Chain A
Amino acid sequence: MTYAYYPGCSLESSSRMYDSSLREVFRCLDLELVELEDWNCCGATAYFSVKETVSLAVSARNLALAERAELDIVAPCSSCFTILLKTHHMLEGNTELSDKINEALGAVNLSYKGNVRVRHPLEVLVNDVGLEKIRDAVKVPLDGFAIAPYYGCQIARGESSFDDSEDPVFMDRLFSTLGARLVYFPHKVRCCGGMLMYTWEDIAVRLVADLMRCAQENGAHLILTTCPMCHANLDLHLEHVRKVYPEAKPTSTYFFTQLLGLALGIPAEKLGFDLNYIPIDQRLKDLIQRTTEVTHA
């Protein structure tokens, strides 16, 4: 299977380990990713808060490029995924709007007819590859790992329909296939605050503290996420979180592709485990050790 790959801005810098681990995992499972040439920012929630038509046009350019390549577009960042999907749906539901956008795209000989499927890699792995095949590819089972699956607020809501919006299970199913134990984590779709961490830090810190408490009290060894912004909020602000939740332990948050990569026997160096701010814990070090032994054996 071949997909158009839309990394998004965050995967170029702050979350480059999401990019590298995703590429490794896809390669390992025989999925081809063709990066969209000269993709541009999807506009995120921010552009959409300022100008509607322009932000939709900016976002639709990426869809138009994928349509020309006749490929589904894979967007790992939750925010990109949501915005691209939203763009697709808004144009579908409003011909006046879609005429305007196509007029703007037409200025550079592009057009969007509405034929692209916007996909999240989690859903691609479960639906297109299948859990059977992934189970067969496991080299190092994750036995004994207690995981809090954090979906974040975006990928199961809005226009997205691949999973349940209140209690999504794709990550749960994927990681129990790998042998991990999924802890009770009722906050799996609760928002971490996103950009509020910059605009109203006091408020965002409380939201992040709630997530950390929920993971910690339910005995999670680590939190898995699908989104760069969620990752940044959970990884970078432990000191601030301790001001409202003094008992916060340094629970690491990783991208789901990083841990999946380890289970598939991909060397840790290629998955960027050393890039987190919260230091890596012993349990994970042991797992990385086991992966090294397996891959060198």
Chain B
Amino acid sequence: MVPKSPVHNHTPGKLPLRERALRKAFLQRIHDIPGGEKLHRCIQCGTCSGSCPVSWAMDLMPRELIAHFRAGDIESILHSRTIWLCASCYACTERCPQGIRVTDIIYSLKRLAIDSNITLEHDGAHKLPQIFVDIINKYGRNHELGLMMRYYLRTNPLQLLRMASLGLAMMKRRRITFAPPRVEKALKDIRTIIAHAERLEVPKEIFSPEYRPDTVGYRAIDKVSSRSSKSPSTTE
């Protein structure tokens, strides 16, 4: 099922305000990926989709993500289950003949979806990483049991019952730790680092490319990277 996009008018220069904002935010983000600007080189060969172990279950395959981006339709990408289905296995990135960092691009799309509050309506997959972040911020390390419990409680409590026998077996083997992990002395340090980095997370507007009609279509990234002062020079 292809997600319904609220964007129907894909004419460059006539994009809805929301699409323009998302576009701008996305272009900012791919600048942090070393080699992110190579996105413009996609030849739509489909190697990424063919290499992806879960593309059969996606509503938009990796190649189509890039096509939608070019067509000025980021919003439908953010609504797709594709970005949350991506297991970050790097198969697509490894094989892309154009050196496009598909996995990293999907990472930035995930962040963009969370930041702009566009998340899946019926599946809870996007909640797992957010719960994970809460746990790390609190304890400094992951707590496997806590992560699972919280995730299932928030998405599908029945699953907890189904998992009970497995849990019991794990308990018998002492492969479950009940108490949350303790990072002895450094928890304060870790939280300080997180708090500082949080403030730096805000994208610096000065580097953000301005939205212009020509930021849609095949030239999109080309224009943007040549306009930006800091286009990363990457090894070819």
Which A residues have a C-beta under 8 Å from some C-beta of B?
A: 9-10, 12-16, 37-41, 43-54, 56-58, 61, 89-90, 93-94, 96-97, 100-101, 103-105, 107-108, 110, 153-154, 157-158, 165-166, 189-191, 193-196, 198-200, 203, 207, 236, 274-275, 277
A88 to B136, CA, bound (A): 20
Q: How large is the interface on B (under 10, 10 to 19, 20 to 34, 35 or more residues)?
A: 35 or more
Q: Which residues of A contact B53 (CB under 8 A)?
A: 153, 190-191, 193, 207
The 3 closest A-B pairs by CB, nearest first: A93-B34, A38-B186, A191-B89
B45: CB under 8 A from chain A? Answer: no
Q: Is the CB of A104 within 8 A of B93?
A: no
A78 to B85, CA, bound (A): 19
Contact among B88, B175, B185 for A45, CB-based, below 8 A? B88
With A44-B142, A57-B193, A190-B53 as contacts: A13 and B87 at CB distance below 8 Å? no
With A14-B170, A108-B189, A158-B90 as contacts: A200 and B200 at CB distance below 8 Å? no
Q: Which residues of B contact A90 (CB under 8 A)?
A: 32-34
**Would you give the shortest CB distance from B108 to chain A, in whole angstroms?**
8
Q: Which residues of A contact B15 (CB under 8 A)?
A: none
A223 to B231, CA, bound (A): 45
Q: Among B66-74, B121-129, B212-220, which stretch is in contact with chain A? A: B121-129
With A52-B201, A107-B193, A207-B54 as contacts: A41 and B34 at CB distance below 8 Å? no
B17: CB under 8 A from chain A? Answer: no
Q: Is the CB of A200 within 8 A of B111?
A: no
Contact among A97, A189, A203 for B32, CB-based, below 8 A? A97
Count contacts between A and B, CB distance < 8 Å: 192
Q: Is the CB of B194 within 8 A of A58?
A: yes
A193 to B88, CA, bound (A): 9
Q: Is the CB of B140 within 8 A of A14?
A: no
With A49-B107, A153-B87, A153-B89 as contacts: A105 and B193 at CB distance below 8 Å? yes
Q: Is the CB of A203 within 8 A of B85?
A: yes
B158: CB under 8 A from chain A? Answer: no
Q: Is the CB of A58 within 8 A of B151?
A: no
Q: Which residues of A contact B197 (CB under 8 A)?
A: 51, 53-54, 56-58, 100-101, 104
Q: Which residues of B contact A97 (CB under 8 A)?
A: 32
Q: Is the CB of B193 within 8 A of A61?
A: yes
Contact among B142, B184, B186, B232 for A94, CB-based, below 8 A? B232
Interface residues of B in 155-203 (CB under 8 A from A): 166, 169-170, 173-177, 181, 183-186, 189-190, 192-198, 200-201
Q: Which residues of A contact B195 (CB under 8 A)?
A: 107
Q: Which residues of A contact B110 (CB under 8 A)?
A: 49-50
Which B residues have a C-beta under 8 Å from some C-beta of A?
A: 29, 32-35, 53-54, 57, 84-85, 87-91, 93-94, 103, 107-108, 110-111, 114, 123-125, 128-130, 132-133, 136, 140-145, 148, 151, 166, 169-170, 173-177, 181, 183-186, 189-190, 192-198, 200-201, 207, 230, 232, 234
Q: Which residues of A contact B84 (CB under 8 A)?
A: 199
Mind listing 19 A-B residue pairs with CB under 8 Å?
A10-B142, A37-B186, A41-B141, A41-B142, A46-B128, A47-B129, A50-B132, A51-B201, A54-B194, A54-B197, A54-B201, A94-B32, A97-B32, A153-B53, A195-B87, A196-B87, A198-B148, A199-B84, A203-B85
* CB closest residue in chain B, given A277: B169
**Would you give the shortest CB distance from B191 to chain A, in whole angstroms?**
10
Q: Which residues of B contact A190 (CB under 8 A)?
A: 53
Q: Which residues of B contact A49 (CB under 8 A)?
A: 107, 110-111, 114, 129
Q: Is the CB of A275 within 8 A of B173?
A: yes
Q: Is the CB of A9 within 8 A of B54?
A: no
Q: Which residues of A contact B175 (CB under 8 A)?
A: 13-16, 275
Contact among A44, A46, A157, A274 for B93, CB-based, below 8 A? A157
Q: Which residues of A contact B133 (CB under 8 A)?
A: 46-47, 50-51
With A194-B87, A275-B173 as contacts: A108 and B183 at CB distance below 8 Å? no
With A47-B129, A191-B53 as contacts: A158 and B173 at CB distance below 8 Å? no
Q: Which residues of A contact B189 (CB under 8 A)?
A: 38, 61, 108, 110
